[in-house]
Structure 1
Amino acid sequence: MDVHYIVDHGKSARSLRRDGVQRALALLASGEYFGGVRTLVIAKLDRLSRSVVDFGNILRTATRQGWSLIALDLGIDMTTATRQLVAGILMQVAEWEAKIIGEGTKAALAVVKRERGIVPGPVSAVPAEVADQIAAMRAKGLTLQSIADDLNSAGIAPPKGGRWYPTSVRRAA
């Protein structure tokens, strides 16, 4: 019996687009490398995938191709419907955990950016010359309304078309 050890360190389990996982799935699909015993043994369920959809697809593939999946951290052989249910519930927790980690990371990055003076949000679609013109008018002390009126009178359209308003001037500056 051939045994293949595939190590897939340093990659996020949020996606199956990882060399190690793809190699293991390809070996299982071919069936030629296994002497009758076709099993994917994983150290931790949440290292295989953190996606309920991907995990469900792996289970369906295993059933269709006739191989089994064992998660050592859980001690679960997923060859029965009940064991697949338990693993699926645990996979939902793993997916939730990944989302919570992502939200925490995003919030921490936003704090760091604010501390460095980087304003979060989309990049302005206002051409640089118009933004410079608005900045110059604001530096002269013109009100947002008077700047909007001047831009409208000059026929300069805002990025999304229509007319300039004090709020669109404020966002553009």
Structure 2
Amino acid sequence: MRVTTVMMIGAGALALMACRDDGGVSAGTPVARGARAVAALHSASGADVGRATATEVAGGLRVTVDAKALPPGTHGAHIHTTGRCDPPGFETAGGHWNPLMKKHGSMNPQGPHEGDMPNLVIDSGGRGTVAAVIPGATMAGLLDTDGAALVIHANPDDLATDPSGNSGARIACGVFQPS
């Protein structure tokens, strides 16, 4: 009975794939020869605290943050609108990347910003990773005339409060560069 059920579910999934008009490529699938940008992340003191990578994928951009040497706990992580990271507060990175003029947060019915990402959880050893696919985002939009930065905040993002999710001070920043 279980084998029959599994076979029927598999056949149904294949039938649905055949109905798609995107050639069977799902959102988030890597794009052959897709563009890539990398941001070296630094603390206010200039210490290396990891990197963020943006990669073109089907239907948008995949952004991955690999952090190290950060305080343990949960931290907001966002793409900010300007490619500048002047310490100590990194205010030069501007606000969240928001070309569609939405409200902040995945839990906000009028959101999210393109730059909103899930929270970054840093373990007791100071390391953490988070990734997200940003639907509809493009490398050209990310690397526009004033660029973009990835910012890590001191506190968790509540995923709802506009404009920044109450995520606190900016503790790390990196400017995206084509790679």
Q: TM-score range by the shorter chain?
A: under 0.3
TM-score normalised over the length of structure 1? 0.20
TM-score, normalised to structure 2, is 0.20
Structure whose residues are more often strand by fraction? 2
Structure with higher Rg: it is 1
